[in-house]
Amino acid sequence: MRGAYKNIPVIIGGIEASLRRFAHYDYWSDTVRRSILLDSKADILVYGMGEKAITEIAQRLAFNGQKAGETIESIRDVRGTCVRGKECPADALKLPGYEAVKGRDETSLKAYAEHFMIQKLIAGSATAPATDPQSGRPLAEESDSGRWVIQNPPAFPLTQAELDRIYELPFTRRPHPVYDNAPVPALKEVAFSLVSSRGCFGGCSFCAIAFHQGRTIQSRSRESLVREAKSLAALPDFKGYIHDVGGPTANFYGPPCKRQEKGGFCPERECLSPSPCPKLKADHGPYLETLAALRNADSKIKKVFIRSGIRFDFIELDQLRGGEFLETLCRHHVSGQLKVAPEHISGQVLQAMGKTGDYEHFRKKFFEINDKLGLKQYLIPYFISGHPGCTLEEAIELALYLKKSGFVPDQVQDFYPTPGTLSTVMYHTGLDPRSGESIHVPGEREKRLQRALLHFNRKENSRLAREALKLAGREELAAVLGIR
């Protein structure tokens, strides 16, 4: 990039750059790589969603009619950006350097786990998380060449009016013209969907949303969503169906506590895991009212579906509206199948994953409500195999549950390490960075065995499933699972 544009400012961003802003484990090369800011030789890295950062950079670079704009080299202090430096700023918290975290010895692995937790939680004290826009300090990491990667504090969350304005821009909702003769099937879903929020406080270990969009929920106004729904209904190819109203988690539509209402969050704990925070306010009321407004926004709208994932544990926490929300969901907003993500049923694995909730209780409640409504609708649960903390015993436990429940999923996600997640730190280091204790990490062969166990009903998996049962000393379960 720099070779082709030697004298042009180069700014990188997007989710890949955002999650690779510091030293990070890269699954494809099986190494700890330097910040992508250094490897790409870019001038500035924008992390997070980036609207405020890129706008400020553009304004500061621009000629305003009276004087020339700033040089790219002088723009060092924009929130939501990372820059290179020759020394560590006095007010920055130092991360373990690249040389300290790149190795595979015990000391390097512990340093890598510490490196991640400083980014995720504390920045100098228990009251200043680095990822909290309200109180975060700059972070600095020394590279192998003596240069520093400096992360400025996060951009402040968008106001509701700003979020409304962005999502109501006149997008074409069509693919780039180069695809005119090659249809893009995935666009059929998103072209008639509404983004209602961004951010997630769910705290799943394998998810990088908290590092990119943040934990703070930013939601659009009901009026903005209704206006967009009406604009969809006016399109010539609209068939009457809004395919989704959601975000990273559909039923996280507003701040869950007073602290988040101010744009911040607790550095010392997650909102839902390992148990729900006592200050958590689980309230589906505003989301229910918005869904009702969308159903009645235009006579051309036949159905408004929710296909983004929902947190069933959050529904159960909302005791006042839990039943009402689930019944409304089943009555109006399920397109025959509802996607949920229990991910596993073993307590040990769920703890490693940062997941909570009783999926079996929710499953029974879902079908009870559908029976009452006279509807034949299905749950599509997502499960993960091979996650750190999961041994063959836990994989067998899940296989037996699937057999008992009479549902074996068509697709199972094999755990896949990606930058910016707690689970990837576990995978690389063999440590749970929250406690510093060792954690089981399935190797590639064991991952294949675990995945086969979750598709035990497939003939092509019978050999691997039997091998898994034999290694676990549970060969008698082959008959119970009906492995051919």
Cα–Cα distances in angstroms (integers) from residue 9 to residues 74, 80, 290, in the given order = 12, 17, 43
Of all residues in the chain, the percent with pLDDT exceeding 70 is 95
The residue to which tokens 């939501």 are assigned: 80
Q: Grade residue 126 by pLDDT with cuts at 50, 70 and 90.
A: very low
| 3 state DSSP class of 219 | strand
Which overall architecture, per CATH, does domain 336-484 show? Answer: 2-Layer Sandwich (3.30)
Residue 158 has pLDDT above 80, yes or no: yes
- What average pLDDT score do residues 439-445 get? 96
pLDDT digits over 45-93, tens only?
A: 999 999 999 999 999 998 666 677 899 999 999 999 999 999 999 989 8
Q: Are 357 and 345 in contact (CB under 8 A)?
A: no
| 3 state DSSP class of 304 | strand
Q: Are 142 and 98 in contact (CB under 8 A)?
A: yes
CA angle 475/480/483 to nearest 5° reads 70
d(CA 293, CA 205): 35
Classify strands 44-46 and 11-12 as parallel, antiparallel or unpaired: parallel
CA angle 396/402/403 to nearest 5° reads 90
pLDDT computed for residue 142 by the predictor = 96
Q: Grade residue 125 by pLDDT with cuts at 50, 70 and 90.
A: very low
- What average pLDDT score do residues 328-341 get? 93
The structural domains of the chain, with segments of one domain joined by +, span 11-151, 163-309, 336-484
Residue 403 has pLDDT above 60, yes or no: yes
Q: Are 279 and 320 in contact (CB under 8 A)?
A: no
Mean pLDDT of the chain: 90
- What average pLDDT score do residues 370-382 get? 94
Q: Grade residue 262 by pLDDT with cuts at 50, 70 and 90.
A: confident
Q: Which of 402, 399, 375 is nearest to 450 (CA)?
A: 399
Both tokens of 227, joined, read 């206006």
Q: Are 57 and 175 in contact (CB under 8 A)?
A: no
Q: Grade residue 145 by pLDDT with cuts at 50, 70 and 90.
A: confident
pLDDT digits over 289-304, tens only?
A: 999 999 999 999 999 9
d(CA 363, CA 467): 31
Asked if CATH classification 3.40.50.1820 holds for the domain at 163-309, the reply, yes or no, is: no
Residue 130 has pLDDT above 60, yes or no: no
Q: Are 344 and 355 in contact (CB under 8 A)?
A: yes
Q: Grade residue 255 by pLDDT with cuts at 50, 70 and 90.
A: confident
Ranges of H-type helices in 14-156:
14-19, 36-40, 51-61, 98-101, 106-120
d(CA 248, CA 191): 17
Q: How far is CA 169 from the centre of its chain?
A: 25
Q: Are 36 and 1 in contact (CB under 8 A)?
A: no
Whether 163-309 and 336-484 share one fold: the answer is: yes
Q: Give the lowest-confidence range in 113-122, 278-287, 350-359, 430-439.
A: 113-122
pLDDT digits over 413-436, tens only?
A: 899 999 999 999 999 999 999 999
pLDDT digits over 172-194, tens only?
A: 888 888 888 888 888 877 889 99
